[in-house]
Amino acid sequence: MRAFFFGLGFSSQASAEAMRQSGAFSQIGGTVRRAEKAAALAERQLQAVVFDGTAPGVEVGAALRAGTTHVIQSIAPDAEGDPVLRHHRGDLDAAADLEWLCYYSTVGVYGDFGGAWIDETAPLVPRNMRSDWRVLAEEEWRAYAKARGVPLCILRLAGIYGPGRSTFDKLREGTARRIIKPGQVFNRIHVADIARVTLLAAERRLAGTFNLADDEPAPPQDVIALGAGMLGLPVPPDLPFETAEMTPMQKSFYRDNKRVSNRAIKQALGIELLYPSYRDGLAGILGAGG
């Protein structure tokens, strides 16, 4: 098997590393926005080519045609739609060995449910333009997969965290803020769980749309308080949501309040999460020196 990731970012790199360690993939590559990053990833046995989403990547077509069997798309859509299908649909068509597609979406496509539990059957009522674009991009990929006759797995990801990208880092930097909005909860997902699920889904050519979130949605201030205690740092003061200074994007996250069920993906793969709660995840990061 040969895998190709559109967008070798935080989650994709973790998934690529899981594939490399599995020994099941003879080649793993993908795209980055800059040539400097491609050179750096080559040292980690990742064959990266440049594609910034604004124009076709000159080396992408050849990479896809070189026996690629699995394609994972993690680049966010824009107002014009999905950048991969916009610029490289023909190259995907020419990838004769293609066996499986995966699209990293977001639980933001659901919108607000007032803190209630939801699953994949919930209606999609996104509350911001970025999530609107995600809904449309999901449909683009479903239509493409159907026309191409290849199974597609859509993974709707919750808030991603992991080593180097957790509340510990914000606490150490002094930028962590406990913004209090009564009743507000979020799901999260550890990057190691994204990597494991992507690998298992790829090996089994899993098809369908699945939430990938932890078992325990929680108020964001609780996560910060726990992290501060684990580091022996003072807990940042409470900041009421109504008076907290935030960018429009930061405020948009607080418009959605829901508890996202992960039952379907666990049943489909016959697994439990490596880090089922933020407590498990933070303990794992700290225990590993993060």
Mean pLDDT, rounded, for 208-212: 98
176-191 residue pLDDT tens: 999 999 999 999 999 9
142-175 residue pLDDT tens: 999 999 999 999 999 999 999 999 999 999 999 9
Q: Which two tokens stand for residue 2?
A: 């040969």
State the average pLDDT for the chain.
96
Domain ranges for the chain, please list them. 2-161+188-215+261-275
Is pLDDT of 290 > 90? no
The predicted pLDDT at position 249 comes to 85
Give the CATH superfamily of 2-161+188-215+261-275.
NAD(P)-binding Rossmann-like Domain (3.40.50.720)
Mean pLDDT, rounded, for 277-288: 97
CB 184: neighbour CB atoms within 10 A?
A: 19
What 8-state DSSP symbol labels residue 97? T
Mean pLDDT, rounded, for 7-34: 96
Dist CA 150 CA 268 (whole Å)? 18
User: Sorting pLDDT into bands at 50, 70 and 90, what band is 206?
Assistant: very high
Q: Do 101 and 150 contact (CB within 8 A), yes or no? A: yes
**Residue 54: phi, psi to the nearest 5?**
-100, -15
Q: Which two tokens stand for residue 240?
A: 């009421």
The predicted pLDDT at position 186 comes to 97
**Residue 181: phi, psi to the nearest 5?**
-125, 105
Element (H, E) at 208: strand 208-212
Q: Do 176 and 224 contact (CB within 8 A), yes or no? A: yes
Mean pLDDT, rounded, for 284-288: 95
Is pLDDT of 257 > 80? yes
Mean pLDDT, rounded, for 255-274: 97
The predicted pLDDT at position 289 comes to 85
Could you tell me which of 261, 258, 274, 146 has the C-alpha nearest to residue 198? 274
The tally of CA atoms less than 13 A away on the side-chain side of residue 167 is 27
Question: Would you call 197 helix, strand, or coil by DSSP?
Answer: helix
Question: Would you call 220 helix, strand, or coil by DSSP?
Answer: helix
The predicted pLDDT at position 111 comes to 96
Q: Do 84 and 114 contact (CB within 8 A), yes or no? A: no
Dist CA 153 CA 103 (whole Å)? 6
Could you tell me which of 159, 253, 167, 272 has the C-alpha nearest to residue 215? 272
Dist CA 12 CA 7 (whole Å)? 7
Ranking 68-72, 253-257, 286-290 by mean pLDDT, the lowest is: 286-290
Provide CB contacts within 8 A for 270, sequence distance 6+.
none
User: Sorting pLDDT into bands at 50, 70 and 90, what band is 44?
Assistant: confident
The predicted pLDDT at position 45 comes to 83
Provide CB contacts within 8 A for 172, sequence distance 6+.
231
The predicted pLDDT at position 189 comes to 98
Whole-model pTM?
A: 0.97
Distances (CA, A) of 254 to 95, 169, 184, 224, 251: 41, 21, 7, 16, 5
CB-based burial label for 282 (10 Å; 0-12, 13-18, 19+)? buried
216-229 residue pLDDT tens: 999 999 999 999 99
Is pLDDT of 11 > 90? yes
